């Protein structure tokens, strides 16, 4: 994976690709194809498959505070590791060489998982080392963006080692990946020079927590989540993420998100408070793990009516309702359209106001023709 301007990771050919390898790539690359198959009792057009839907948090207060929202992903990883379900975890953490960037890490202890907790709104490629993780002795849990997990599930159909070695796949809802240039703009806004930064976190250390640069002299500069995401990063999201049909992690065993509380205007409130996650068990394996972690006292959950999710995630709901009109816009503009299967795009589109649907279509056709998308 190579960084290309303005700072997105793209696959680069490093040697000849056989016709067979090319077919395997085409079958698994989430830029080309996303497919969800499920037998879950719930399969919602906006929120995907579910065996359990709830809000929750890790009872370990230190981990809950360190994590992005309620620390559910991290505590499930700790549980999986400490009960022997897995021998290691493949996840994403801060890159020690580029503090605003990411690298993939192998975690084998509570402290490793603690140190990798928290969302990092920067490019990541946790599957780039898949062959290495598969070659390592033992089984592992995988944490990734929805596209990473759907790619791993797709590869599992062709590679039996994956079912054997990866008993747990976790994802988070994903609003998309901003560019490295966008990440750097936070430092500019904070008035901080890149070479002075010792470490950087995007959020966590509270809910939602602050984008915080810690400088080499020990001082810190920080920016609210509403400013870092709302004013800077959300404007830098790459195009593929804007046509993502599965930003809710439908292929994962469990997907987590922010269980934001709505404010008086019906928008999610980003006031600092104790972290709370939205938790969706999407497979029987995920539901069983949640039950076990709850019984072990590591996790508390409260069931949630599916109709409540839209109050926490209004932007994700709108994106899903408008995917079909965006794909239609791409086809009209002569762009290749990815193959999406099993995500109830028509049912989601039927929930959109026709005027907003038309605006989404026309707006994207215009941006594509003008070369702005």
Q: Is the peptide bond before 243 cis (omega within 30 degrees of 0)?
A: no
Choose between 118 and 286: whose C-beta lies nearer to ligand FAD: 118
Give min distance, CB of 331 to ligand FAD, in A.
26
DSSP β-bridge partners for residue 222 = 212
Residues numbered 164-223 forming contacts with ligand FAD, rule: CB under 6 A:
172-175, 177, 204
Choose between 47 and 121: whose C-beta lies nearer to ligand FAD: 121
Asked if 256 and 72 count as a contact pair (C-beta separation under 8 A), the reply is: yes
Q: Which helix (H) or strand (E) holds 277?
A: strand 277-281
State yes or no: residue 319 binds ligand FAD (CB under 6 A).
no
Give min distance, CB of 55 to ligand FAD, in A.
11
Give min distance, CB of 175 to ligand FAD, in A.
3
Q: b/e map of 158-174 (b: 16 or more CB within 10 Å)?
A: ebeebeebbbbbbbbbb
Give min distance, CB of 206 to ligand FAD, in A.
11
Residues numbered 6-65 forming contacts with ligand FAD, rule: CB under 6 A:
none
* Distance (Å, whole) CA 30 – CA 28: 6
State yes or no: residue 119 binds ligand FAD (CB under 6 A).
yes
Asked if 8 and 121 count as a contact pair (C-beta separation under 8 A), the reply is: no
* Distance (Å, whole) CA 285 – CA 126: 22
Q: What is the CA radius of gyration of the chain?
A: 20
* Distance (Å, whole) CA 236 – CA 234: 5
With CB under 6 A as the contact rule, the residue among 35, 79, 145, 153 that binds ligand FAD is 145
Residue 290 DSSP symbol: H
State yes or no: residue 126 binds ligand FAD (CB under 6 A).
yes
- Residue 337: how many CB atoms within 10 A of its CB? 13
State yes or no: residue 258 binds ligand FAD (CB under 6 A).
yes
Give min distance, CB of 203 to ligand FAD, in A.
7
With CB under 6 A as the contact rule, the residue among 55, 100, 124, 212 that binds ligand FAD is 124
State yes or no: residue 322 binds ligand FAD (CB under 6 A).
no
State yes or no: residue 282 binds ligand FAD (CB under 6 A).
no
State yes or no: residue 70 binds ligand FAD (CB under 6 A).
yes
State yes or no: residue 101 binds ligand FAD (CB under 6 A).
no
Choose between 260 and 340: whose C-beta lies nearer to ligand FAD: 260
With CB under 6 A as the contact rule, the residue among 277, 283, 322, 325 that binds ligand FAD is 277
Asked if 178 and 122 count as a contact pair (C-beta separation under 8 A), the reply is: yes
Choose between 255 and 327: whose C-beta lies nearer to ligand FAD: 255
Place of tokens 């590679």: 159
Give min distance, CB of 332 to ligand FAD, in A.
27
State yes or no: residue 255 binds ligand FAD (CB under 6 A).
no
State yes or no: residue 142 binds ligand FAD (CB under 6 A).
no
Residues 6+ apart with CB under 8 A from 359: none
| Tokens of residue 364, six digits | 């994207």
Asked if 147 and 34 count as a contact pair (C-beta separation under 8 A), the reply is: yes
Residue whose C-alpha is closest to residue 60's, from 258, 299, 272:
299
In angstroms, the Cα distances linking 141 to 34, 41, 104, 148 are 21, 24, 13, 13
With CB under 6 A as the contact rule, the residue among 30, 144, 182, 245 that binds ligand FAD is 144
Give min distance, CB of 34 to ligand FAD, in A.
17
State yes or no: residue 114 binds ligand FAD (CB under 6 A).
no
Give min distance, CB of 116 to ligand FAD, in A.
4
| Tokens of residue 3, six digits | 């960084």
State yes or no: residue 257 binds ligand FAD (CB under 6 A).
yes
State yes or no: residue 102 binds ligand FAD (CB under 6 A).
yes
The residues that touch ligand FAD, with contacts defined as CB under 6 A, are 67-74, 91-93, 102, 116-122, 124, 126, 143-145, 172-175, 177, 204, 256-258, 275, 277, 313, 316
């Amino acid at each position: 994976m190579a960084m290309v301007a303005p700072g997105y990771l793209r696959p680069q050919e490093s040697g000849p690709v056989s016709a067979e390898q090319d077919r395997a790539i085409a079958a698994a690359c989430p830029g080309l194809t996303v497919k969800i198959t499920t037998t879950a009792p719930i399969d919602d057009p906006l929120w995907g498959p579910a065996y359990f839907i709830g809000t929750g948090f890790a009872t370990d207060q230190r981990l809950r505070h360190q994590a992005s929202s309620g620390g559910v992903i991290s505590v499930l990883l700790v549980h999986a590791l400490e009960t022997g379900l897995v021998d290691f975890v493949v996840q994403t953490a801060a890159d020690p060489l580029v503090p605003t960037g990411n690298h993939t890490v192998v975690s084998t202890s509570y402290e490793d998982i603690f140190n990798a907790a928290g969302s990092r709104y920067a490019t990541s490629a946790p599957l780039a080392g898949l062959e290495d993780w598969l070659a390592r002795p033992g089984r592992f849990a995988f944490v990734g963006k929805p596209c990473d997990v759907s790619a791993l599930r797709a590869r599992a159909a062709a590679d039996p080692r994956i079912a054997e070695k990866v008993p747990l796949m976790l994802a988070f809802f994903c609003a998309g990946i901003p560019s490295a240039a966008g990440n750097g703009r936070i430092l500019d806004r904070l008035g901080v020079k890149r070479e002075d930064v010792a470490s950087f976190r995007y959020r966590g250390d509270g809910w939602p927590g602050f984008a915080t640069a810690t400088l080499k002299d020990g001082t810190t500069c920080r920016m609210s989540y509403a400013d870092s995401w709302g004013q800077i990063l959300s404007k830098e999201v790459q195009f593929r993420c804007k046509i993502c049909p599965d930003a809710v992690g439908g292929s994962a065993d469990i997907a987590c998100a922010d269980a934001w509380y709505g404010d008086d205007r019906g928008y999610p409130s980003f006031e600092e408070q104790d972290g709370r996650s939205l938790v969706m068990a999407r497979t029987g394996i995920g539901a069983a793990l949640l039950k076990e972690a709850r019984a072990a006292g590591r996790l508390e959950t409260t069931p949630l009516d599916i109709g409540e999710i839209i109050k926490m995630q209004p932007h994700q709901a709108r994106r899903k309702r408008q995917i079909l009109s965006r794909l239609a816009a791409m086809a009209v503009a002569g762009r290749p359209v990815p193959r999406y299967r099993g995500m109830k795009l028509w049912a989601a589109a039927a929930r959109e106001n026709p005027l907003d649907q038309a605006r989404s279509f026309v707006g994207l056709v215009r941006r594509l023709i003008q070369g702005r998308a």
